[in-house]
Structure 1
Amino acid sequence: MDKVVASAADAVADVPDGASLAVGGFGLSGVPGALIQALHEARVTGLDVVSNNCGAMEAGLAVLLAAGRISRVTGSYIGGNKEFARQYLGGEIELELIPQGTLAERLRAGGCGIPAFYTPAGVGTQVADGGLPWRYDGQGGVAVASPAKEVREFDGAAYVLERGITTDFALVRAARGDRHGNLVFNKSARNFNPLAAMAGRITIAEVEELVEPGAIDPDQVHLPGIFVQRVVALSPEQAADKKIENVTVTSGEVRA
């Protein structure tokens, strides 16, 4: 039952080239940076990544992206990641953009053993009809486009069929975790991390605080240890390394 491994390097040592990864985090919140860095140092390449976004500010998944280690991304947001946009438009990387709520539900469904589900999100658009550019040819043309999806009517409304997502591995970050893999996430870091963890066949969690079994109240567990196979305890320096994507401050007098 003790799932703790000695280091992030040991935890990702068996991730092969071409593996599929579900990676937690939202923006730069709750991103498993130590595990991503360990993958970078291991020189794993050809990765098929499922994540809300692909890093920012040269942090998170942007580390692997900049090194050319990612071949495909399934996500919902490019944002201000100029390198991500450059690689996508230049035909260097394949990108399946899907609605954010659909991404969350596809991960959850995969983790629950649900092969597919119907949703109204995307009906009447290229999400359902097909034709979204997945890969460009580097000359401004589309090399690979999304296929059309099944659409059915329920109670007079149209719904599109979406497939559940499972991956070879999942990388997540938690605020607290015990040796059995039970995890607690802090605030917005809870957004995609539990869903990514559920979708991975082998889930690796880096935790800011490692505690003994029983130290976490069962009512406070956000993700049961049944979904987690490996736990890595972060150093105090690693736990404190939390970048802020956009700093907003108020200057001058604040009036009600």
Structure 2
Amino acid sequence: MNKVYASAAEALKGIVADNQMIGVGGFGLCGIPEALIAALRDSGVQNLTCVSNNAGVDGFGLGQLLETRQIKKMISSYVGENKEFERQYLAGELALEFTPQGTLAEKLRAGGAGIPAFYTRTGVGTLVAEGKEEREFDGERYILERALKPDVCLVKAYMADRSGNLVFRKTARNFNPDVAMAGKVTVVEVEKLVEIGDINPDDVHLPGIYVHRIVLNTSPEKRIEKRTVRNAGE
């Protein structure tokens, strides 16, 4: 099966729709699938629930979808420096499910591993525990957290072969592997595409069984230029 698509827009065609849960890899501005996020914005889909550590900053990454009001709910661990995120939340225009960072990562990993729920001590005795089942193990209280299984997940990797075996670099290896595992359909944006067999099996960070579609982002110079111009204006 051919997993490689000509563009980010083509890679999202037929799989994104209104009212979906979308998982997005990366951490703030680090290791985010920029081209796929822009294509999601341009698709015009509405009422999305986005699962991501945070929404980056205003006008960049998921901040673009907040500005266009395509996100109805965020499941994240951090509001960050995104003023529009904060404004919409405080104004009651955006639903927000705050989740401790480690718990969010485990919710995604569990979803990818086929584990429907798990117990954790994180959040016991706080607002995080409200409405959740509690149990005691070895004298300690734990709360039950449900796994996350987004309809579509968008991730960023450094390199992929045509089967979707992935190699991540540096901070892009934070949430991206867990997000990729969790998606019912996972689309990966890569900087380098190689042939099957070119990646040493010992160097594969995530096997291609989790990847359904691949797009090669061929314009790193433009992304660097965009960031430089943006930072200069701040």
Query: Which TM-score applies when normalising by structure 2?
Result: 0.93
For residues 217-236 of structure 1, the aligned pairs below 5 Å read 217-236=200-219
Aligned-pair Cα RMSD in Å: 1.5
For residues 97-246 of structure 1, the aligned pairs below 5 Å read 97-128=98-129, 130=130, 148-237=131-220, 240-241=223-224, 243=227
Structure with max Cα Rg: 1
SS at match of 2:46: coil
Report how many aligned residue pairs link the two structures. 227
Q: Contact 1:208 / 1:239 at 8 angstroms: preserved in 2? A: no
| Matched AA of 2:10 | D
User: Using the alignment, how far apart are the partners of 1:238 and 1:230 within structure 2?
Assistant: 24
Q: 1:150 to 1:125 in 2, by over 3 A?
A: same
Identify unmatched segments of 5+ residues in structure 1: 131-147, 248-256
User: Using the alignment, how far apart are the partners of 1:70 and 1:179 within structure 2?
Assistant: 32
- Higher normalized helix content (fraction of residues): 2
Q: Contact 1:118 / 1:162 at 8 angstroms: preserved in 2? A: yes
SS at match of 2:184: strand
User: Using the alignment, how far apart are the partners of 1:233 and 1:110 within structure 2?
Assistant: 26
| Matched AA of 1:103 | L
Identify unmatched segments of 5+ residues in structure 2: none
Query: Which TM-score applies when normalising by structure 1?
Result: 0.85
Name the structure 2 match of 1:88: 89
Deviations 1:132-180 (A, max 9, x none): xxxxxxxxxxxxxxxx111110001111100010010000010111110
User: Using the alignment, how far apart are the partners of 1:13 and 1:29 within structure 2?
Assistant: 25
Name the structure 2 match of 1:2: 2
Name the structure 2 match of 1:20: 21
Identity of aligned residues (%): 57
Q: Contact 2:55 / 2:80 at 8 angstroms: preserved in 1? A: no
Shift in Å at residue 55 of structure 1?
2.0
Q: Contact 2:177 / 2:206 at 8 angstroms: preserved in 1? A: yes
Shift in Å at residue 54 of structure 1?
1.1
User: Using the alignment, how far apart are the partners of 2:162 and 2:168 within structure 1?
Assistant: 16
Shift in Å at residue 123 of structure 1?
0.5
SS at match of 1:167: coil
User: Using the alignment, how far apart are the partners of 1:93 and 1:221 within structure 2?
Assistant: 38
SS at match of 1:17: coil
